[in-house]
Amino acid sequence: MRIVIAEDGVLLREGLAHLLADEGHEVVASVGDALELVEVVQRERPDICIIDVRMPPTFTDEGLRAAIEIRSRWPDTPVLVLSQYVEERYAVELLSGQTSGVGYLLKQRVADVRDFLDALERVANGGTALDPEVVAQLLARARRHPHDELTPREREVLALMAEGLSNAGIAQRLVVTGGAVEKHVTSIFTKLGLEFAETDHRRVLAVLRYLEDRDP
Amino acid sequence: MPIGIATFTIVVTGFALGFGLLITLLGIPILVAMLYVSRGMGWFERGRAKLLLDVDVPRPYRADPPSDHWWRVPVSRLTDPATWTEIVYHLLLLPIGVFTFTVALTFWVLGASLLFLPVYAWALPHPVHAVDSWVKVTLGAQPHLELLGGGNGWVIDTPIEYVALVLIGAVILLLTPWIVRGLATANRYLVRGLLGSDVFARVQTLTNSRAAAVDLAAEDRRRIERDLHDGVQQRLVSLAIDLGRAKEKLDTDPERAKELVGEAHEEAKRAISEVRDLARGIHPAVLTDRGLDAALSSLAARSPVPADVHVDVAERPPASVEAAAYFVVSEALANVAKHAQATRADVTLRRSGDRLTVKVEDDGVGGASLVEGSGLAGLRDRVGALDGELHLLSPRGGPTVLMVEIPCGS
């Protein structure tokens, strides 16, 4: 894949570049601020951008804003946003509109190389990758309205669906068969009264809408 | 002055009636009602002072405690010194009004009548007592003026004396604005002193809260040092040891080396999480970027006890106020989780005008207190440093209500 990295920390930028090169990907550009990022994306049209939220000059959320801009100008360019902290609010902003080709992960997830590369692959192919911590925040909200009758296992499956995993991915993570996952998924969609979604990222959208609507 | 008469009458009648009937218990509701009437008049007077004297008087009252019993608010207001200085002001309004009115009117009239004396002296009937009781103008065939005294005062009947009198009138007229302004200034001090807050008490409060803020900052630094030393540094040392051992075993026992690297990997990730939590504890980035609503939602989502957050803050308060409010909620939710045995908590933030109110309620067992050195006492100091107030209501058996009010400056 042809990848653009936007990250102002040199150590992390180099680390990422090495890790991606080891995996056979091509880092076509690495930039240190958001303005440059947008220019580079326009020029290079990469297969995916990896973007840090905090960058110069203000060190607040320019990476996030650049990601949103890139998604609106080039909707078929996937973005994977990395951050020191993950916040529900940022996730909602990032995912508003469409959930295909979007990732939002804690920076430290890079340390779990295999999972990180899977997430990168998923987002590059139009899927979704949401950090378990954001999902946990969303689920914590839903917990406050305990009238849904999901079993503990179904809640686990719901969380992994929200992260953007496919049935096969969920089966692998929970060490169960694909058939068992399918059964859980059907049951969840029935219990929550959600319309069944065909593709994985549509499924993420449905689940997120559900979790957000629980917000009073 | 008419306002003075009205307030004087209301206050004297109301309180006399209230205290007089206290023995029959009927006085209590009257007194309570008078507290509210007095505040209403105070509000009116502050408004009038702003409009006419151009003084902005801040409300001096203590914040009302959270109301679990109907009598709490009236009792707190009754024991609030600001209530009593305000009543004194209402009582002083009439005598001061009379004095100011008389002085101002006398000077204007006296000045004007002396200045224009030559203009109308010929038109006055004979004899005439004008201007004032101690100035007697008598006009006959030869108009003359007699000062100070019935028939044997200073008689003015020469042109020079007329000119002198006109000059005196002019001087009085020129002085009058200054005198009126002086009276207004005196009035302004009175309004500020009695309707505003006591300057000396204020200085004392500021001194105390500043000392507390300094202590708090030192305490915060000690805590951060401890967290860094006991947490992250330990993890990094352990990580280095694991890696060192793995390096030793790499050739002799590759299986064990792989295990050790795995452990080091886990340790490194935990260190990252700890640094992250520590940094968030110092200042949450989302608070700066998105404000209280987003930061508190995320805080509530991480709270072990289910917490609902309602934020009604249209205009963002200054960063220091936002941070204080954030840490109030953070500490309160941590306490709820640790001590309250609650099943849920409610967080409400509201900004009305220049005050931000934070309320955290739970349905737990209560019994929380503001003992020195506790997290809640630290919060009180943090809030106090911003001129805010903290009230804690936590009877044994619960529930607990923590209420904080912070001025947002302007």
Mark yes or no for CB contact B298/A84 under 8 Å.
no
Q: Write out chain B residues lying below 8 Å of A212, CB-based.
A: none
Of the candidate ranges A125-129, B186-190, B283-287, the one whose mean pLDDT is the lowest: B186-190
Residue A191 has pLDDT above 80, yes or no: yes
How is residue B162 written in tokens? 């007329």
Residue A99 has pLDDT above 90, yes or no: no
| Any A CB within 8 A of B306 CB | yes
Confidence of residue B40 (pLDDT cuts 50, 70, 90): confident
The CA distance from B65 to B76, in Å, is 7
Residue B37 has pLDDT above 50, yes or no: yes
- Taking the domains of chain A in order of start, what are their residue ranges? 2-130, 135-213
What Cα–Cα distance (Å) separates residue A16 from each residue in A33, A50, A79, A156?
16, 9, 15, 30
Q: Which residue has the higher pLDDT, B65 or B270?
A: B270
For the domain with range A135-213, which CATH number is right: 3.40.50.2000, 3.30.1960.10, 1.10.10.10, 1.10.10.60? 1.10.10.10
Condensed to tens digits (0 to 9), the pLDDT of residues B125-168 reads 444 444 444 455 555 444 455 554 455 555 566 667 777 778 88
- Paired strand residues for B392: B402
Which residues, including other chains, have CB under 8 Å from residue B372's CB and lie 6 or more apart?
none
Tell whether pTM > 0.80: no
| Residue B149 pLDDT | 46
Confidence of residue B381 (pLDDT cuts 50, 70, 90): confident
Q: Is B11 exposed, middle or buried (0-12, 13-18, 19+ CB in 10 A)?
A: buried
Give the mean pLDDT of B119-126.
59
Give the mean pLDDT of A69-98.
88
Q: Which residue of B has its CA nearest to A145?
A: B306
The CA distance from B3 to B53, in Å, is 15
The CA distance from B49 to B192, in Å, is 9
What Cα–Cα distance (Å) separates residue A171 from each residue in A199, B50, B366?
17, 71, 45
Residue B384 has pLDDT above 60, yes or no: yes
Amino acid at B300: A
Confidence of residue B77 (pLDDT cuts 50, 70, 90): confident
The CA distance from A12 to A38, in Å, is 20
Best CA proximity match to B404, nearest among B342, B323, B343: B323
| Residue A68 pLDDT | 92
Condensed to tens digits (0 to 9), the pLDDT of residues B167-219 reads 888 888 888 888 888 888 888 787 777 777 666 677 777 888 888 888 888 88
| Residue B198 pLDDT | 64
Percent of the residues in chain B that have a pLDDT greater than 70, as a whole number: 85
Longest Cα separation, chain B = 138
Superfamily of domain B286-407: Histidine kinase-like ATPase, C-terminal domain (3.30.565.10)
Amino acid at B179: I
Which residues, including other chains, have CB under 8 Å from residue B197's CB and lie 6 or more apart?
B58, B60, B82
Condensed to tens digits (0 to 9), the pLDDT of residues B218-271 reads 888 888 888 888 888 888 998 999 999 999 999 999 999 999 999 999 999 999
The CA distance from A74 to A4, in Å, is 14
Q: Which residue of A has its CA nearest to B289?
A: A60
Q: Which residue has the higher pLDDT, A14 or A197?
A: A14
Residue A96 has pLDDT above 90, yes or no: no
Residue B369 has pLDDT above 90, yes or no: no
| Residue B109 pLDDT | 83
Mark yes or no for CB contact A88/B301 under 8 Å.
yes
Q: Which residue of B has its CA nearest to A141?
A: B301
Instruction: Name the E strands within A77-163.
Output: 79-83, 102-106, 128-130
Give the mean pLDDT of B83-97.
80
The CA distance from B176 to B155, in Å, is 25
Q: Is B356 exposed, middle or buried (0-12, 13-18, 19+ CB in 10 A)?
A: buried
ipTM, two decimals: 0.77
How is residue A107 written in tokens? 């920076």
* C-beta separation of B173 from B164 below 8 A: no
For the domain with range B220-282, which CATH number is right: 2.40.128, 2.60.120, 1.20.5, 3.40.50? 1.20.5
Give the mean pLDDT of A21-42.
93
How is residue B288 written in tokens? 């700066």
Cis peptide before B254 (omega within 30 of 0): no
| Residue B138 pLDDT | 53
Which helix (H) or strand (E) covers residue B138, if one does?
strand B135-138
Mark yes or no for CB contact B280/A85 under 8 Å.
yes
Mark yes or no for CB contact B306/A140 under 8 Å.
yes
Give the mean pLDDT of B303-327.
91
First to last CA, chain A: 42
Q: Is B132 exposed, middle or buried (0-12, 13-18, 19+ CB in 10 A)?
A: exposed
Give the mean pLDDT of A129-155.
78
* C-beta separation of B360 from B334 below 8 A: no
Q: 């955290």: which residue's tokens? A: B360
| Residue B129 pLDDT | 42
Q: Which residue has the higher pLDDT, B307 or B80?
A: B307
Q: Which of B285, B289, B298 has the CB atom closest to A137's CB atom?
A: B298
Confidence of residue A145 (pLDDT cuts 50, 70, 90): low
First to last CA, chain B: 33
Q: Which residue has the higher pLDDT, B56 or B293?
A: B293
Which residues, including other chains, have CB under 8 Å from residue A88's CB and lie 6 or more apart?
A134, A137, A138, A141, B294, B297, B298, B301
Q: Which residue of A has its CA nearest to B301?
A: A137
Condensed to tens digits (0 to 9), the pLDDT of residues A158-189 reads 889 989 898 999 999 999 998 999 999 988 88
The CA distance from B168 to B118, in Å, is 13
Instruction: Name the E strands within B261-400.
Output: 307-312, 345-352, 355-362, 389-393
Q: Write out chain A residues lying below 8 Å of B279, CB-based.
A: 84
Report the topology of domain A2-130.
Rossmann fold (3.40.50)
Residue B403 has pLDDT above 60, yes or no: yes
Q: Which residue of A has its CA nearest to B299?
A: A137
Residue A25 has pLDDT above 90, yes or no: yes
- From chain A residues 147-206, the ones with a CB under 8 A of any chain B CB are none
- Taking the domains of chain B in order of start, what are their residue ranges? 220-282, 286-407
The CA distance from B188 to B142, in Å, is 48
Which residues, including other chains, have CB under 8 Å from residue A1's CB and lie 6 or more apart?
A25, A26, A46, A47, A48, A124
Confidence of residue B410 (pLDDT cuts 50, 70, 90): low
From the CA atom positions of chain B, what is the Rg in Å? 36
Q: Write out chain B residues lying below 8 Å of A63, CB-based.
A: none
* C-beta separation of A158 from A125 below 8 A: no
- Indicate the average pLDDT of chain B: 81
Confidence of residue B113 (pLDDT cuts 50, 70, 90): confident
From the CA atom positions of chain A, what is the Rg in Å? 17
| Residue B157 pLDDT | 60
Percent of the residues in chain B that have a pLDDT greater than 90, as a whole number: 20
Mark yes or no for CB contact B302/A140 under 8 Å.
yes
Residue A214 has pLDDT above 70, yes or no: no
Confidence of residue B35 (pLDDT cuts 50, 70, 90): confident
Question: A187-194, long-range: CB within 8 Å, 24+ apart, which pairs?
Answer: A187/A154, A188/A150, A188/A154, A188/A157, A188/A158, A188/A161, A191/A148, A191/A149, A191/A150, A191/A154, A192/A148, A192/A150
| Residue B154 pLDDT | 56
Give the mean pLDDT of B57-74.
70
Of the candidate ranges B10-14, B91-95, B225-229, the one whose mean pLDDT is the lowest: B10-14
Measure in Å the smallest separation between the Cα of B298 and chain A Cα atoms. Answer: 7
